[in-house]
Amino acid sequence: MVTKSQSSRGFTLVELLIGASLAAVITLGVISAFTFLGRNMVRIANNSDLQSRAAIASATVQKDVANAAAVIAVSATSLTLTVNTGAGTDTVTYAYDANADEVTRADSNQTFVLLRKATACSFTYTDANGNATTTASSVKKIEFDATTVSGVYDSGTYVTHQLVSPAMIVAGTGL
Does position 174 have pLDDT exceeding 50, yes or no? no
Say what the pLDDT of residue 31 is: 95
Q: List, for residues 70-84, the tens digit of each pLDDT value.
A: 999 999 999 999 999
Q: List, for residues 29-69, the tens digit of each pLDDT value.
A: 999 999 999 999 999 999 999 999 999 999 999 999 999 99
pTM: 0.79
The amino acid that residue 129 corresponds to is N
The Cα 21–Cα 29 span in angstroms is 12
If you average pLDDT over residues 102-111, what whole number do you get? 95
Encode burial over 81-111: b for 16+ CB neighbours within 10 A, e otherwise.
bebbeeeebbebebbbeeeebbbbbeeeeee
Say what the pLDDT of residue 175 is: 45
Do residues 93 and 85 make contact, with C-beta atoms less than 8 angstroms apart?
A: no
The more confidently predicted of residues 74 and 172 is 74
Does position 18 have pLDDT exceeding 90, yes or no? yes
Q: Looking at the chain, list the stretches that DSSP marks H as alpha helix, in order from N- to C-terminal side.
A: 13-66
Query: How high does pLDDT run on average in the chain?
Result: 90
Local confidence band at 9 (pLDDT 50, 70, 90 cut-offs) = confident
If you average pLDDT over residues 131-144, what whole number do you get? 93
Local confidence band at 10 (pLDDT 50, 70, 90 cut-offs) = confident
